[in-house]
Amino acid sequence: MTDTTSKTLGQLKKSGYKVKSIKQEMRDNLVKFLMKGENSFTGIQGYDDTVIPQLQTAILSQHNIILLGLRGQAKTRIARLMLNLLDEYIPVVSGSEINDDPLQPLSRYAIDLIAEMGEDTPVEWMHRNERYTEKLATPDVSVADLIGDVDPIKAATLKLHYNDERVIHFGLIPRSHRCIFVINELPDLQARIQVSLFNILQEGDLQIRGFKLRLPLDVQFVFTANPEDYTNRGSIVTPLKDRIDSQILTHYPKTLALSRLITSQEAQITKEQKDAIIISDKLLDLIEHIAFEARKSELVDQKSGVSARLTISALENLYSTAERRMLLGGETKTHARISDLFGVLPSVTGKVELVYEGELEGASNVAQTLVGKAIRALFTAYFPDPEKAKKAKKPNPYATILNWFNDGYTVSVLNQASDFTYQKALLSVEGLPELIKELYAKNTEAEKVILMELVLHGLAEYSQLSKHNLVKGFEFKDLMSGMFEMKQGKGDEEV
């Protein structure tokens, strides 16, 4: 526990305080975490065997770090969690702009104050939460923003000559002395601005408007970048990249279960929604399947990536879609349905970058295609592949269902239908309840209803049934009549 009772330089010296660099400080605290078997990067899922070990190695090596990965891979979250590796408090010279260490002052202000007051120099204690600075690299960032500039107002107020270094207004990096300094999206920083970081990273020199200051700043630098930015919007100049000691590659969740864990952890769901709305594991998996399908789709720009924020927003929208339906129907509880997925489409269209072919298709159509592929993948995880079942020598498990539709029957699943109406529509399909009972007899009634709807959507995705998007929901028909209506509609349009 840090002793924060010292209020003057003399008291600080008597307390036995020892000067320590921020990198040494983080290293020492990480060693304590590792020896106790504790994780300082809590809340980061899926990186236990990949990113976290590399990150810990870099910190033990006292390196400046760049986190390289696509969007939505928790790069900024990781940087912010590094605060856990700082001491709770550190002493600074009172009034110092750059957090001067009382025993190793750097600025002219601190040096002059200590020379004047000696042991009585006032000392303040700075909490770890104040020792983090984050800057988004944008094209308008200037050297003055990061390093500093001459301040004419300060010169006039203090009646100083312009050759006096006290007229300097320090930028973000000097003000982050003894702190963690993060630059997000480093390639977006103009090359000439990147050049200004060379000496700070290596030699500790600052050059501001003709002033050559020897300030060995003590900063833990963390940079983040998207690999696509190297050729898309900008690049990291080679000498700067050479000065960043460790490059760590981040990645998306490798399994569905891990992706679900991240989504449930990050989604902002109200207590009222959790109490009133039940969401089946199958729907939770379905949401993750959408992201997995997007990350391999030829219509989506894979260089930009598909953020984990897609599934987080989708889950939030799924809850809200079911909640809206429930409130409009005057119900107090409900189960989310596959048909509620129409409400997650805005989460998909806003989170994917499309290639040229995808732009031609349109964002909305691409989103629906991705949802369809996700349903297709989930369907075969619970039911026999319809194409294989059709060719197999055994009786087709979907024969009764398909024959019912072939006889001219249709079924509509409407977005705002009450739970009773929704279940009644699915139960009316001949052979559908029997199929679910045969395969999933032990499931709850609510789960069986979800499975029934999954069968209809799945058969439609495998071109066994025709699915039409209505203004207020979906309508399922036999395939041939659906194709005939589509052709008839085309002819009508051409006329």
Residue at which a domain ends, from 200, 216, 249: 249
Judge whether 2 lies within some domain: no
- In a shared domain, residues 204 and 352: no
**Residue at 4 is within a domain:** no
Task: Give me the half-sphere count of Cα atoms (radius 13 Å) on the Cβ side of residue 102.
Answer: 28
What band does 490 get if pLDDT is binned at 50, 70 and 90?
Answer: very low
Residues 242 and 284 in one domain: no
Q: For residue 486, what pLDDT band results from cuts at 50, 70 and 90?
A: very low
Structure-token match 């020892």, residue found = 18
Residue 34 shares a structural domain with residue 149: yes
Task: Give pLDDT, residue 491.
Answer: 38
- Please check whether residues 47 and 99 belong to one and the same domain: yes
Q: Looking at the 3D structure of the chain, how many domains does it have?
A: 3
Same domain, 405 and 495: yes
Place 162 in a pLDDT band, splitting at 50, 70 and 90.
low
> Domain end: 382, 407, 429, which one?
382
pLDDT over 60 (residue 229): no
The count of other CB atoms within 10 Å of the CB of residue 55 is 26
- Domain identity same for 221 and 185: yes
In a domain, 1, yes or no: no
Residue 200 shares a structural domain with residue 260? no
Q: What is the pLDDT of residue 392?
A: 81
Is residue 219 domain-shared with residue 144, that is, in the same domain? yes
Q: Is residue 41 part of a domain?
A: yes
Residues 63 and 192 in one domain: yes
- The pTM of this model reads 0.85
- Judged against a pLDDT cut of 70, whether residue 442 lies above it is answered with yes
Partnered with residue 412 across adjacent β-strands are 475
pLDDT, mean of residues 374-398:
91
Q: What's residue 152's pLDDT? A: 63
pLDDT band at 235 (very low <50, low <70, confident <90, very high): confident
Q: Is residue 14 part of a domain?
A: yes
- For position 410, which CATH number holds? 1.10.10
Mean pLDDT of the residues in the chain: 88
CATH of the domain at 78: 3.40.50.300
Give the torsion sign (CA, 456, 460, 465, 470): positive
Identify the domain containing residue 263 by its residue range: 253-382
Which of 249, 274, 294 is a domain's end point? Answer: 249
Q: Do residues 170 and 50 share a domain?
A: yes
User: CATH number for the domain including 312?
Assistant: 1.10.8
pLDDT band of residue 488 (cuts 50, 70, 90) is: very low
Residue that is written with structure tokens 């550190």 in the block: 90
In this prediction, residue 303 carries a pLDDT of 84
More confident residue, 206 or 379: 379
The order of strands in the sheet holding 473-478 is: 411-414, 473-478, 465-470
When mean pLDDT is compared across 217-221, 233-237, 482-486, the lowest value belongs to: 482-486
Residue 147 counted as domain residue? yes
CA distance 446 to 279: 10
What pLDDT, in 10s, does the model give residues 85-126?
Answer: 999 999 999 999 999 999 999 888 899 999 999 999 999 999
For the segment 18-41, the average pLDDT, to the nearest whole number, is 94
